[in-house]
Amino acid sequence: SQKIEQNSEALNIQEGKTATLTCNYTNYSPAYLQWYRQDPGRGPVFLLLIRENEKEKRKERLKVTFDTTLKQSLFHITASQPADSATYLCALDMISTGGFKTIFGAGTRLFVKA
Amino acid sequence: EAQVTQNPRYLITVTGKKLTVTCSQNMNHEYMSWYRQDPGLGLRQIYYSMNVEVTDKGDVPEGYKVSRKEKRNFPLILESPSPNQTSLYFCASSPTWDSLLPGEQYFGPGTRLTVT
Q: Name the DSSP letter for residue B104.
A: S
Which has more confidence, B104 or A1? B104
Question: Residue B101: which of A31, A91, A103 has the nearest Cβ?
Answer: A31
Residue of B79, B83, B74 whose CA lies nearest to B113: B83
Q: Does the structure show a pLDDT above 80 at A24?
A: yes
HEC readout, B3-38: CEEEECCEEEECCCCCEEEEEEECCCCCEEEEEEEE
Contact list, B35 vs chain A (CB under 8 Å)? 104
Counting residues of chain A whose pLDDT is more than 90, the rounded percentage is 76
Instruction: Tell me if B24 sits within 8 A of B73, measured CB to CB.
Output: yes
Distance of CA A55 to the CA centre of its chain: 14
What are the phi and psi torsion angles at B83 (to 5°)? -55, -30
What per-residue confidence (pLDDT) applies to B98?
A: 60
Q: Does the structure show a pLDDT above 80 at A14?
A: yes
Q: Does the structure show a pLDDT above 90 at B9?
A: yes
Pick the residue from chain B with its C-alpha nearest to A97. Answer: B56
What per-residue confidence (pLDDT) applies to B85?
A: 98
Q: Provide the shortest C-alpha distance from residue A106 to chain B (in Å).
A: 4
What per-residue confidence (pLDDT) applies to A59?
A: 95
Query: If you compute the radius of gyration of chain A from its CA atoms, what whole number of angstroms results?
Result: 14
Output the average pLDDT for chain A: 93
Q: Provide the shortest C-alpha distance from residue A24 to chain B (in Å).
A: 15
Q: pLDDT-based confidence at B99, cuts 50/70/90?
A: low
Question: Residue A107: which of B33, B42, B48 has the nearest Cβ?
Answer: B42
Residue of B15, B5, B20, B23 whose CA lies nearest to B85: B15
Interface test with A, best of B52, B93, B105 (most A CBs within 10 A): B105
How far apart CA B95 and CA B101 sit, in angstroms, is 8
Q: Does the structure show a pLDDT above 80 at B97?
A: no
Q: Does the structure show a pLDDT above 90 at A78?
A: yes
- For A99, residues 6+ apart whose C-beta sits below 8 A from its C-beta are B48, B50, B54, B56
Q: Does the structure show a pLDDT above 80 at A1?
A: no
* Interface residue B74 vs chain A (CB under 8 A): no
What per-residue confidence (pLDDT) applies to A98?
A: 67
Question: Residue B40: which of A32, A45, A106 has the nearest Cβ?
Answer: A106
Contact list, A32 vs chain B (CB under 8 Å)? 101, 103
Q: Provide the shortest C-alpha distance from residue B1 to chain A (in Å).
A: 16
Give me the numbers of helices (H) and strands (E) for chain A, helices first please: 0, 11
**Which one-letter amino acid corresponds to residue B96?**
T
Average pLDDT over residues A17-25: 96
Pairing type for strands B10-13 and B111-115 reads parallel
- For A96, residues 6+ apart whose C-beta sits below 8 A from its C-beta are B56
